[in-house]
Amino acid sequence: MTLFLRRHGRSLALFSFLFLLLLLLQSTSPSLDPSLTSLRGESYKQFGGALSRGTFSVSDSVISPNEKFHITAVADLDKRSKLGSSEWYSVLLPGVLSRSGGGGYEVQWGPARQVSTKHNEGGRGMELSELTVYDGRLLSFGDRTGIVFELIRDGGGGIKSVPRFILTEGDGETDKGMKVEWATVKDGNLYIGSFGKEFTNPAGE
């Protein structure tokens, strides 16, 4: 035993030091919620990989309570959404909804904005079917790919689409994107739905 310590004393001392250092680091490190990521001293809930808070608010759309509102429509261009050989697009149409003196409403549309992606399924993509604000984020949904996009400003005055999630048909274990047709928010939860038909494969089963 004495001979062993003489030969390997330095190695044992180094190993012991490293082991104690590891224990010290573990004991002093704060426990982190895996759903949170630290960014500049603050914690943000991850949303499809996002490291920043959503900044979109429904209240910002109110110009005059009960009288005038900002609105936006989105277009599902179906097969016409293909733009070039490897890109697909949709159109956002902003406008102002105003209540007229007779109790009716009128809409003044602004210039259309184009938003695009390279994500597709079988040569189809960006067939957006809905716009919903959730968790401070403006979301839209591909009714061919099942992709949930967040629409954000690109810094140059335009809009870009960022894919956050992919929803699939059936039991969720298929390779077919969910045909999303609607989405809404209730009690802080986001609900996403289709058109009420059970998923069938190409053979109709």
Nearest 5 degrees, angle CA 147-CA 32-CA 18? 125
What pLDDT does residue 141 have?
A: 94
What pLDDT does residue 170 have?
A: 81
Read off the pLDDT band of 33 (50, 70, 90): very low
Query: Which residue is associated with the tokens 């030091």?
Result: 17
- Binding residue ranges: 129-130, 181
**Average pLDDT score, the chain:** 79
- Binding residue ranges for Ca(2+): 129-130, 181
Mean pLDDT of 183-201: 85
pLDDT at 47 over 50: yes
Phi, psi of 158 (to 5 degrees): -105, -175
What pLDDT does residue 65 have?
A: 86
pLDDT at 12 over 70: no
Can you tell me the distance from the alpha carbon of 141 to that of 184, in angstroms, rounded to the nearest whole number? 12
Can you tell me the distance from the alpha carbon of 114 to that of 125, in angstroms, rounded to the nearest whole number? 14
CA dihedral 127, 171, 187, 63 (to 10 degrees): 0
